[in-house]
Structure 1
Amino acid sequence: MPFFVDRVSDGSLIVGKAVNSAVKRHLNDLKKSDWRWKFDENLAGKAVKFMELLPDPKTGKPNELAPFQKFIIGSIYGWVDKNNSSIRRFTDVFISMARKNGKSLLISGVILYEFLFGKTPPRNRQLYTAANDRKQAGIIFGMVKDRLKALMVKDEGIKRMCQIKRDEIINLDDGSIIRSFSRDAGLVDGYEPHVAVVDEYANAKTTDMIETLASGQLLLPSYLTFIISTAGFDMNVPMFTQNYPYAKKVLSAEVEAERYFAFIAEQDSIEEVKNKSTWIKSNPLLDVDALKAQITDYLSTKLKQAENDGSINSKLIKNFNIWRQAAEDSYMDIQNWNSAEINSMNIDGQRIWFGVDVGKTSDLFAISWMIPCEGYWYADSFAFVGTKYGLQAKIKADRLNYPELERKNECEITTLESGVIDTERVFNWLNDFVEKHRLDVQGICFDPYQYGPLLTLIEKRHPEWQQIEVRQGTLTLSMPTKQFRDDVLEKRIRHPENQILTSAVNNAVLKSDNNGVRIDKNKYANKIDALDALLDAYAVCFRENIDDYLTNEDVLSDDFGF
């Protein structure tokens, strides 16, 4: 473990920003004296030694752990309670790296260690290997069985105490069990997972599996929940929208979570993929001299094939652990969108262009807006959520936690018994929003589909608000659609954190015809309403000059003159 930490610290080992942060966090924690935890090198070394005794399922021979693996295992087992070393500091573990870097093999060792030598609780420990489907859940379970069988051949004591069945492994001495669990199979009654490993979580569309496992761990003082996965194609899944950004915040010390461990081996940019010397960032097994040539040759071959056959996205995701949209025709690179994120700004007294997209009963009713600032546009959005077919059904279909987003003030869920969105409530929200922030409304830019009721309300109560119809064809939207994407890339459009808007950006693909391009959704259930509304506003206001932008305060100041 020190071998890895020291080389990361002095810069002699190339690692990504997230791994560097994990090492810095470890070193900073070692300096703390006035808190609950201590680092016990003997406990860390004991766990590492056991892992290195385990046979590889493919060769039957034990292998020395790679330096990064020693860091992970050493961290999990070395950090313990000062007064009770049987209580681990880390209960939740997030590990992400490129495929074929030994993460599943490593975690199978953790399961066996806890199964054979776990102390909290001393009896009846339940250990689960979990995944989105039965086949994936069985991969780690199969590794555990194969490695345990090899141990049983070498050690009579282990052979006597263990019983291997098709669907479970039993410790006859203390009643502990290992089982596999998948979302489609469900759990047995009375589960209380001492260790739960969720493999390839990027494939999970909902948080149901994690929530089910966590609900059984309430009374366990030293449980272990692992999320292990390579990046994925779908950027609206819980791993990308919740777990991955949370882990990044923990590593950067933006969020304090002393019992959460994260190790994210990834490329820091797509451009780095062109430089072989950086591949070790997402493929930490390249730090093992005996494997370096083989892995480098494999990655070089796959990358060259991808460039020729158009499957580059797949290789960036699986072999370099970079989150990418599945569709090659995706409207915008999510990395560019995320790079344009800023903190929420004070919009009081500003000029504003609103865009409105009226959804069907099962859709969202989106209001987005553009505000000119010095050198850039500030974009944000709010949505009204219909529940005609049930809120839970909508949450699952859209893969957005609307109650949580309502608490974050990104949306409002209809309270009507019918589940239909109340147009008058939409108008009242808009009216209150404008009054609260003293906004200077330059235009309400709308898609005419189903807009009539809101148009009438605005005409009656705010005739001074100019309502501008935006024709929904490529002839009108092509230029602003392309310009919007370019402006995001150049950070001439900035936005705050807004999950509904970001989800819409993730879902949008580019469609073209003889008149140009416009966005569309890639699947029926994938919502792009918030982005549609934003582009309606941008189609009207994008020709405004933001480089010579003047605020009302500038005009009223003593220095202003002609």
Structure 2
Amino acid sequence: MILMLDSSIDWDDLHPTNRYAAEIVLGIRKACELEILACQRHLDDLQRQATLDFPFVFDESRADRIFEWFERCCRHVRGPFSGQLIELLPFQKFDLGCLFGWVHMESGKRRFVLSYNERARGNVKSTEMSGIALYGMCGDCVYPPDDPDQKRYEDMPEVECAAVDKGQARRVWGDAQKMGEKSPDILKRLRIKRTYIEHSTRGGWLRPLSKDTKNKDSGAPCIVIIDEYHAHPTSEIVDVLRSGFGKRLQSLMLIITTAGKNAENNPCKKERDSHEKILRGDIPMIETTFAMIRTLDKGDDPHDQSTWPKANPILQEENEYSQALLKEIKTEHDEAFNSGDAAKIREWLTKRVNLWQADSEDKFMSGIMDKWKALAISRDAFFDLVRGFETWNGLDLSKTTDLTAAGFVFRLPDGRYAVTAHGFMPQESATKHEHSDRVPYRYWAERGWCTLTPGSVVDYSFIKSHIQQREQEQSWIIKEVCYDPYNATHFTSELEAEGYERVEIRQGVQTLSEPTKFFRELVLQGLIVHDGSELLTWCLSNAIEVSDNNGNIKLSKKHKDDSQRIDLIAAILNAMVRAMTRDNSIDLNEHIMSEDFSF
């Protein structure tokens, strides 16, 4: 079914998943920006389903199957509805409908391999995950959309309920155990004992898993549930369980969590940031990943009760539970903020309105990334625009095993600046970083935004070739090579021997503050143009602004080992130091020597 958002919508005929998405996008339901983007993604996918570029279809019968599982077989195990059959709420039908309704148009295999779902405490996360865990043991199957009678179930199904410690891991598992015991339909299929759950005829297991569990990497999981990922100090358990994928028909990992209080170098926060950038279009869409983040928007007043449903979708429903939850959130709010206890306030902000805390980052392009994207033109148009122009080349030669960059800055006759940058990374490192950082370097290489050099270290000869190729093919006139001296002295000496003029750009705030501020001002005024590089946009979105006591700034990553790299914008700013200086005869040495490197 194609869904068009106009006055002709027949709401009664819409599937619950599609109806919820439409209500969110049209503003009928209160939602944060990230939920709106997730719902818009679903509606956009409906428009392009079953095409060569997008070989997936939304099979309403598959979505209905998971709905029926919950509402006919699963019962609440605690709270005011304990013992009653679960009646899925609209937001749950959207999330579950997307996860289980989208399938490959030919094989019928589930589209999504990974789900990241973040919402505030009290919004029935454990109940939902317990039902999915039992479905993985009893009802999960594959069947071609055109032949629903040919169902294929997994033999020896394996469902893992993973958490940071044994107690938390047993929470979802224990709820699944109680839920199964309360359901005659489930008891027909499973053997549920005090210490284990298995399928009565197909074997397998549903088990709790934590960092202390032995043989975590010995299985072939069908469904993995990662509970409260914010509490995990590392991504070890996610990485180990993900490594078992590929052995089943359609493995699925579900990460479910609230926000956390340790946003610095937290694996969950990294995961969340990656999904946020995908939803916002800062990095390419990963078609097999589902993301739903329900939180307050930037600028929302957390004391304003009307904003709370953005992080607590259950508050939009009129029932006994939602009323009790609202009362509890308000009581905890008043206690926390009246006490003045910072720990209680942070606890309320993370758990009740899903806001990450203790994040010291100050994003350089906060609030203006959309402005940056709007200033892009096509690559061909960019080359036509700057053909034959003078340009300043900037280099950022980082560790030879990491991303390295060559940037170019042009001054245009109309007063605008044009910028472009290209990345270089060893092939072996790119493969590793795609798995650990979930950043699509190979995709970017195919698109021409970066070059993957053979082996395990960057071959600088590729950078030299790239510069020379731009000169020859685009008739660019390289005014100067502007370089960060770290790791670059020998390479730039080679360039100088071939006739290039090189200028060392010291990396202190006294040198970089003015061009960094100037770059942002160009974006704000619409006086910069770029070629739409997805890799450059990603680097720019990662950049953190740090400042000294005098208001001087420069860019940085969150910390030195962060995988969210900024190399391409760093290369451009090195070039901007000289490009923005109209009279390039000015001697910068005196200025550079006076730099204050203290923060």
> TM-score by structure 1 length?
0.72
- Cα shift at 1:159: 8.8
Counterpart-to-counterpart distance in 1, 2:25 and 2:340: 35
Aligned to 1:467: 502
SS at match of 1:340: helix
What is the 5 A alignment of 1:73-84?
Answer: 73-74=96-97
- Cα shift at 1:332: 1.9
Unaligned runs of 5+ in 2: 1-14, 142-151, 584-599
Q: Is the 8 A contact 2:396 2:404 kept in 1?
A: yes
Matching of residue 71 in structure 1 with residue 99 in structure 2? no
Q: Render the CA deviation track for 1:406-446: whole Å, top value 9, x for unaligned.
A: 44444445546xx5544444322211123223223343222
Matching of residue 179 in structure 1 with residue 179 in structure 2? no
- Cα shift at 1:287: 0.9
Q: Render the CA deviation track for 1:339-396: whole Å, top value 9, x for unaligned.
A: 5235554332144322223335455543223344667544443334469x97777778
Match of 1:534 among 555, 568, 572: 572
Matching of residue 216 in structure 1 with residue 247 in structure 2? yes
Aligned to 2:60: 39
Aligned to 1:113: 135
SS at match of 1:370: strand
Q: Is the deviation greater in 103-112 or in 393-402?
A: 393-402
Counterpart-to-counterpart distance in 1, 2:101 and 2:436: 42
- Cα shift at 1:311: 11
2:124 aligned partner, one-letter code: G
1:146 aligned partner, one-letter code: D
- Cα shift at 1:470: 2.7
Aligned to 2:421: 381
1:382 aligned partner, one-letter code: H
What is the 5 A alignment of 1:195-234?
Answer: 195-199=223-227, 208-209=239-240, 211-217=242-248, 220=249, 223-230=251-258, 233=263
Counterpart-to-counterpart distance in 1, 2:346 and 2:312: 17
Matching of residue 191 in structure 1 with residue 219 in structure 2? yes
2:327 aligned partner, one-letter code: Q
Q: Render the CA deviation track for 1:74-110: whole Å, top value 9, x for unaligned.
A: 55566789999xx676554635333213334312211
What is the 5 A alignment of 1:178-327?
Answer: 178-181=206-209, 191-199=219-227, 208-209=239-240, 211-217=242-248, 220=249, 223-230=251-258, 233=263, 239-240=271-272, 243-246=275-278, 263-267=292-296, 269-273=297-301, 276-289=305-318, 290=320, 291=322, 293-294=326-327, 297=330, 320=353, 327=359
Q: Is the 8 A contact 1:273 1:279 kept in 2?
A: no
2:157 aligned partner, one-letter code: R
With over 3 angstroms needed to count, the CA separation of the structure-2 counterparts of 1:96 and 1:336, relative to structure 1, is farther
1:524 aligned partner, one-letter code: K
Counterpart-to-counterpart distance in 1, 2:505 and 2:48: 60
Aligned to 1:99: 120
Q: Render the CA deviation track for 1:2-35: whole Å, top value 9, x for unaligned.
A: 4856854764322345545666746995999999
Aligned to 2:29: 13
Counterpart-to-counterpart distance in 2, 1:530 and 1:102: 43
1:458 aligned partner, one-letter code: L
SS at match of 1:128: strand
Counterpart-to-counterpart distance in 2, 1:10 and 1:55: 35
With over 3 angstroms needed to count, the CA separation of the structure-2 counterparts of 1:306 and 1:173, relative to structure 1, is farther
Q: Is the 8 A contact 1:93 1:224 kept in 2?
A: yes
Counterpart-to-counterpart distance in 1, 2:48 and 2:505: 60
- Cα shift at 1:510: 0.8
1:171 aligned partner, one-letter code: H
- Cα shift at 1:284: 1.0
Counterpart-to-counterpart distance in 2, 1:355 and 1:33: 44
Counterpart-to-counterpart distance in 2, 1:392 and 1:112: 35
With over 3 angstroms needed to count, the CA separation of the structure-2 counterparts of 1:20 and 1:505, relative to structure 1, is closer
Matching of residue 352 in structure 1 with residue 374 in structure 2? no
With over 3 angstroms needed to count, the CA separation of the structure-2 counterparts of 1:183 and 1:491, relative to structure 1, is farther
Match of 2:474 among 411, 416, 437: 437
- Cα shift at 1:215: 1.8
- Cα shift at 1:212: 1.5
SS at match of 1:55: coil
Q: Render the CA deviation track for 1:214-237: whole Å, top value 9, x for unaligned.
A: 3222xx2x6544344456746997
- Cα shift at 1:285: 1.8
Matching of residue 481 in structure 1 with residue 516 in structure 2? yes
2:570 aligned partner, one-letter code: D
Counterpart-to-counterpart distance in 2, 1:191 and 1:316: 37
Counterpart-to-counterpart distance in 2, 1:415 and 1:44: 46
> TM-score by structure 2 length?
0.68
- Cα shift at 1:276: 4.5
Q: Is the deviation greater in 225-234 or in 447-456?
A: 225-234
Q: Render the CA deviation track for 1:141-187: whole Å, top value 9, x for unaligned.
A: 42232342365267598299423454x42233431311245678676
Counterpart-to-counterpart distance in 2, 1:359 and 1:30: 43
Identity percentage of aligned residues: 21
With over 3 angstroms needed to count, the CA separation of the structure-2 counterparts of 1:314 and 1:215, relative to structure 1, is farther
Aligned to 2:148: none
Q: Is the 8 A contact 1:94 1:247 kept in 2?
A: no
Unaligned runs of 5+ in 1: 546-562
SS at match of 2:222: strand
Q: Is the deviation greater in 119-128 or in 58-67?
A: 58-67
Q: Is the 8 A contact 2:120 2:311 kept in 1?
A: no
RMSD: 5.0
With over 3 angstroms needed to count, the CA separation of the structure-2 counterparts of 1:485 and 1:309, relative to structure 1, is farther
Q: Is the 8 A contact 1:381 1:530 kept in 2?
A: yes
SS at match of 2:128: helix
Q: Is the 8 A contact 2:425 2:452 kept in 1?
A: yes
Counterpart-to-counterpart distance in 1, 2:307 and 2:138: 39
